[in-house]
Chains A and B, each alone.
Chain A
């Protein structure tokens, strides 16, 4: 059995999941901190 499709699948799931988590958290943080700045002004 060729193992590489399983390896590529596992690395893809990990990298896509981590990237989506980081991106979503960063966007939420930026939006929330921009709201605080907006209120100050």
Chain B
């Protein structure tokens, strides 16, 4: 991680990587969504509406992954004063907010044919809505801090405190007996209840959207670093 502490070295890596991540993301996402729509079978209970899973679940994972990234960047900023950590945290916020909004919207559209309602104040949905508000607060705080010429410490502390919501989202379906179903896929050896014919398009879709998410984060980091360079040069010229 410290190898990338130098912005010039980071940019040398990020410039070619942005395009590769983007185009790989487009190809994998297109193939995965095509498979989810036309190859994967119907669910025996939910029928065709299960196809919404191939966009809803990756959006939920990225929404939570985005804030986990913000929390890690906040630690790197506060503990090691990593010069790119603040930039990385801010670059993660808008894509994280967009995928949280997508998760809520697609979940709502999945809820109507499955549960008969677009919205229910259950643990999972409410904690995801709180995550969206946290993202909006983080973006507003980061913008305001930047305008005042702050070092971003308060933004990093907010990023770290907001991470308390991630385990709440993760375990909400276990802690509260709610409308939202429990997890169908486990990465920690708990076993997956989802059939392989549905699992591979889901994992491919998650990979595709993750690649696109990575490309967007790199684009935003490059834009922020370029803006910082312009602002520094203008300050030097006016001094």
A→B interface (CB under 8 Å): 1, 3-4, 6-7, 9-11, 13-14, 17-18, 20-22, 25-26, 28-29, 31-33, 35-36, 39
Contact = CB atoms under 8 A, between A and B. Distances in A.
Report, nearest first, the 8 A-B pairs whose CB atoms are least far apart. Answer: A32-B226, A14-B55, A25-B219, A10-B106, A3-B48, A3-B49, A32-B223, A29-B223
B141 interface: no
A39 B55 CA distance: 42
Contact of B223 (A14, A20, A33): A33
B212 to A, nearest CB: 6
Given A3-B113, A25-B220, A10 B105 contact: yes
B233 A39 contact: yes
A6 B219 contact: no
Interface string B50-70: 011001100100000000000
Contact of A13 (B18, B33, B105, B219): B105
B24 interface: no
Contacts of B212: 18, 22
A22 B213 CA distance: 9
Contact of B216 (A1, A3, A22, A33): A22
B215 interface: yes
Nearest to B237: A39
B227 interface: yes
